[in-house]
Structure 1
Amino acid sequence: MLRGVFRTGLLCCILSAVASAEQTAALPTIVSTHLCADQLALSLAVPEQILSLSYKSQDPLRSRHAARALAYPANSGSSEEVIQFKPDIVLASRRWRNHPQQRQFDTLNIRVVVVPLSNSWMEIFANTQWMADQLGQPERGHALVSDVQRRLRALQESVTISGEPEQSLLYLRPNGGSSGEGTYIDMLIRALGFRNHASTLGLKGWGQLALESIVMNPPDYFLLSGHVRDNTRGNSRLSRHPLLQQLLDEQTVLSLPPDTGYCADWQIIDTAEYLAGQLMAAANGEGR
């Protein structure tokens, strides 16, 4: 009798393993050619699906998942590399919509999936689920979206807002670049309970702010970019101006880490929580 039970159990294990293998085999394989697509692939796909990620995915100054990305071959986004890996899907940026190799991919049954841009939390939720569906991982998408929604609710509950937010925050890159209404930076600022000072200064969407406008009407808080390419001398002239330096010394300054701000996706909740931690530290007198 025990032998029969053992055989039955063994048969169940074998059938389960076969079913799991068949399920994995049915999932589309992926080559990602863009940093933001890399992050989504690593978040939503299982390792067996990923054939290659962009070389930027392995840069710890740009990618939060650089250590995990090292497990996969890197590519520079060329069509030759994509074809070499023979994926079912190539993940790409919006610039690939008119890619000259699109027709060639079609003949090879390689589907191009363009990563959508999100400028609101609702778009992040919808686009994350859409990407998960494209990768054959709808349940993973649902779980990720639910987790982000839970964390966003917790963040908003921790922020005291009475009517229109009274304090302002200005996102500023060293070259004077900023972000007004209708951008994911604006969404991030509002999630933290602030008024976007760039909008107050008349900026809509992405653009540049003049030093004079910042000095004449400064915000309550600054949020400084952590972009790697912003650190060059040519791109940081405004941030080195003595008047702005004086303002930064006087105001509370929040800083984005270098691997933040490249992608408008679900990871913005990570950034929001990170900045909320900085605000709490500043309120407790730890730093400015």
Structure 2
Amino acid sequence: MNVFGRLAAAAALACFAPCAWSAPARIASINMCTDQLLLALADPEQIAGLGPYARDPQMSWLAEQAKNYPRLSGEAEDLIALNPDLALAGKYGKKATRDLLQDHGVKIAEFDVPRSIEDVKTQVRRVGEIVGHPERARALNDSIDAAAARARASAADGRIRVLAVSRRGWVAGSNGLLSSLLATVGLANSASDLGLRSGGFVTLETVIATEPDLILVAESSPRAEDQGKAMLLHPALDRRYPPARRIVIPEALTMCGGPMLPAALDRLSDAIGRASR
């Protein structure tokens, strides 16, 4: 049974007469994706603190909104001092941090990495129940469904192959949320051609040899701030993939699932429409 289930069971046992579930009054998050689910669904006064990347506009869709709340380090110490009623964490974060929090009596709700739109909707419903606002979760999931319907209505014809490439040659895997988004708009993730289910680093030569129809990048005009970004500016990549063969979607729209998904699907649909002309 997960943390929410245990809390609900304890609340039910404490009631001798029927009583409503009482949501935790102070909830913290130490994961960038649960940060955004909490921001989208909780009351402001319920949010006790957010993770270290919540305010980073390159990574967080709700970065501006996150500035209204305490910034946590993501380590156990400041969360123990904060002593929230519940902490939201990623399943694959530091195990030592989660163990230390549990040793100090901090209740934790863990969230896996969503690999599909349906996974995201399940997490939205879960957080909606945790914060006591299932109606907000239903509204968000309705907006995700509406965006997915719009995307399917304008989906690309055929199996256009797209390779999502970011700094240092990181390629998003075929068994991930981005693949689910691409499939919704009628695209195929070329990472499957490389056998990359969970993602991985590839060379410039591999990107070109794979010959995707389009590449997906986070910026239209990246600057060579370091070696990691320099690869995306290589002349060979420019020649093969000029602006007309690039889909530009900010990473803040694809790194997590939640309130950013409608915008991500709409932008993907628009980008495919332009690339098809």
* TM-score, L = length of structure 2: 0.80
Report the residue type matching 1:82 in the other structure: L
Alpha-carbon spacing, 1:107–1:244, altered in 2? closer, same or farther (3 Å): closer
> In the alignment, does 2:81 pair up with 1:88?
no
- Counterpart contact for 1:171–1:224, Cα < 8 Å: yes
2:240 alignment partner in structure 1: 247
2:271 alignment partner in structure 1: 278
- Counterpart contact for 2:23–2:130, Cα < 8 Å: no
1:67 is matched with which residue: 57, 64, 68? 64
Alpha-carbon spacing, 1:140–1:254, altered in 2? closer, same or farther (3 Å): same
Shift of 1:31: 1.2
Q: Secondary structure at the residue paired with 1:84?
A: helix
Shift of 1:144: 1.6
1:6 alignment partner in structure 2: none
Shift of 1:72: 1.3
Shift of 1:82: 1.4
> In the alignment, does 2:249 pair up with 1:256?
yes
* Larger-Rg structure: 1
1:205 is matched with which residue: 188, 198, 220? 198
Shift of 1:232: 4.3
Shift of 1:283: 5.0
> Which has the larger displacement, 210-219 or 61-70?
210-219
1:172 alignment partner in structure 2: 165
Shift of 1:90: 1.0
2:146 is matched with which residue: 136, 145, 150? 150
Report the residue type matching 2:273 in the other structure: M
Structure number with greater CO (CA < 8 Å, separation at least 6) is: 2
> In the alignment, does 2:38 pair up with 1:45?
no
| Number of residue pairs aligned between Structure 1 and Structure 2 | 256
- Give distance in 2, aligned partners of 1:96 and 1:250: 36
- Give distance in 2, aligned partners of 1:73 and 1:170: 37
> Which has the larger displacement, 249-258 or 63-72?
249-258
> Which has the larger displacement, 190-199 or 229-238?
229-238
Alpha-carbon spacing, 1:135–1:116, altered in 2? closer, same or farther (3 Å): farther
> Which has the larger displacement, 78-87 or 95-104?
95-104
- Give distance in 2, aligned partners of 1:142 and 1:231: 42
> In the alignment, does 2:119 pair up with 1:123?
yes
Identity of aligned residues (%): 25
Alpha-carbon spacing, 1:97–1:138, altered in 2? closer, same or farther (3 Å): farther
- Counterpart contact for 1:174–1:231, Cα < 8 Å: no
- Give distance in 1, aligned partners of 2:124 and 2:76: 25
Q: Secondary structure at the residue paired with 2:246?
A: strand
- Counterpart contact for 2:36–2:259, Cα < 8 Å: no
Alpha-carbon spacing, 1:153–1:233, altered in 2? closer, same or farther (3 Å): same
1:29 alignment partner in structure 2: 26
Shift of 1:30: 0.7
Q: Secondary structure at the residue paired with 1:141?
A: helix
2:187 alignment partner in structure 1: 194
Shift of 1:49: 0.5
1:136 alignment partner in structure 2: 132
Alignment RMSD, CA only?
Answer: 2.8
- Give distance in 2, aligned partners of 1:190 and 1:170: 13
Shift of 1:48: 1.4
1:56 is matched with which residue: 53, 57, 69? 53
Deviations 1:105-162 (A, max 9, x none): 4553x3111222110122111122122222332222222222211221122112254x
Shift of 1:35: 1.6
- Give distance in 2, aligned partners of 1:104 and 1:242: 49
Gaps in structure 1 of 5+ consecutive residues: 1-22
Deviations 1:199-257 (A, max 9, x none): 2344333123343343234222110135xx99642213532433222112275111122
- Give distance in 2, aligned partners of 1:24 and 1:54: 26
* TM-score, L = length of structure 1: 0.77
2:174 is matched with which residue: 181, 186, 200? 181
Alpha-carbon spacing, 1:53–1:29, altered in 2? closer, same or farther (3 Å): same
- Give distance in 1, aligned partners of 2:150 and 2:262: 11
> In the alignment, does 2:109 pair up with 1:113?
yes
